[in-house]
Amino acid sequence: MADTLFETLVNITAHLTFFQKNSGGIILEKFIVRPQIKLMLENFFRISGIRIGIYDTDEEMSIISDYPHWAPEFENLTFCEKAKLCSGSFMKKCVSCDRKAFFQARETGKTQIYECHMGFLEAVIPILAGERVECFLMIGQVRKRTLAENGMSEDAAREFSARFRITDVRYSAEDFRHAWGRMPCMDYETFSAYVYFLEICAQKIYSDNYIRRSERSVSGELIRYVRDNLYRNVGIADAARELDMSASHLSHFISKEMRTTFTKYLNDCRIEESKRLLSMTNMNIKNIALSLRYSDPAYFAKQFKKGTGMTCTEYRESLRKQNGETECNDP
């Protein structure tokens, strides 16, 4: 057993060493995470049975990467996951405990080992870039060996369900008893040993570029892509491919950060370009529409008026009047 544990730890260290030599990466909104980091998280879970995740320092404590991945349809939800799904008050208490530890770790740059409102062991380990906290490793949902070591009794399970007003028919008191029994269970000293090991990993995760803040500007790259492709038939899938992102991720980014959709943004940019063409060239309206990939000039005309409050002809004539030019009708 000891040899197996040692070999697994060595494998984790090997992944850390290999990581800095690998040029591949998965682009997230704020971080670049190398593919091998999920192997480190998975290996840690394999040897400890403890859930582990990497979190941002933002107010939402956003997940950057974790293992095992949480999924509401997963049959074997943990005790805490079931309780969070069923009870708003349980969720609120969990978030409050985690926030307090996160903010203390962010302010001090030091590891926080604590007990949550249920008495479970949790830890937040800062990942530092110099003296700045870039993100956190977090482990938890660990039952202390002294905490109902023989399992949760039927009465305790019913009391728990009543205390947090859990009435979801999917999860009975018996379900919580079984989930309690599946939780990793260890003494404080063993848990602290795992935390110490992760502190060593945390020193390498950022310094060796396992994870780092992305210097790329997704919005800037998107703006350039759209600007360069106004005269081509492109959609969000084409833009996502160019930006090395999934279409769903790009769509979410545009919605959240730019408060629009790709189609609307592309259309708005094309309307701006048509205004330039109307003012700087003698192209007729139909050719402007077709060159900007509007297959229906009537639809283009409708979009132009919606965006400017004028028809194309009215817009062109208003510019000519401003410049003192003679009126000229578009064919």
In the predicted model, is pLDDT for residue 46 greater than 90? yes
Listed residues 183, 213, 243: the one ending a domain: 213
Whether 309 is in a domain gets the answer: yes
For the segment 227-262, what is each residue's pLDDT rounded down to a tens digit?
A: 999 999 999 999 988 887 788 878 988 988 889 999
For residues 30 and 140, state if they share a domain. yes
Average pLDDT, the chain: 82
For residues 241 and 193, state if they share a domain. no
For residues 148 and 286, state if they share a domain. no
Cα dihedral 39, 48, 84, 97 sign: negative
- C-alpha dihedral (181, 187, 188, 190), degrees to nearest 10: -110
Whether 256 is in a domain gets the answer: yes
Whether 231 is in a domain gets the answer: yes
Residue 45 pLDDT grade (very low, low, confident, very high; cuts 50, 70, 90):
very high
Whether 43 is in a domain gets the answer: yes
Whether 331 is in a domain gets the answer: no
For residues 69 and 137, state if they share a domain. yes
For the segment 104-135, what is each residue's pLDDT rounded down to a tens digit?
A: 999 999 999 999 999 999 999 999 888 888 88
For residues 266 and 190, state if they share a domain. no
Q: What is the CA radius of gyration of the chain?
A: 28
Listed residues 191, 213, 235: the one ending a domain: 213
CATH code (residue 11): 3.30.450.40
Whether 249 is in a domain gets the answer: yes
The pLDDT value given to residue 54: 92
Whether 48 is in a domain gets the answer: yes
Beta strands in the chain (DSSP E): 26-27, 31-33, 51-56, 63-67, 112-115, 121-129, 132-144, 185-186, 211-213
Q: Look up the domain containing 193 and give its range.
A: 2-213
The pLDDT value given to residue 87: 82
Proportion of the chain above pLDDT 90, given as a percent: 44
Whether 328 is in a domain gets the answer: no
The total of structural domains in the chain comes to: 2
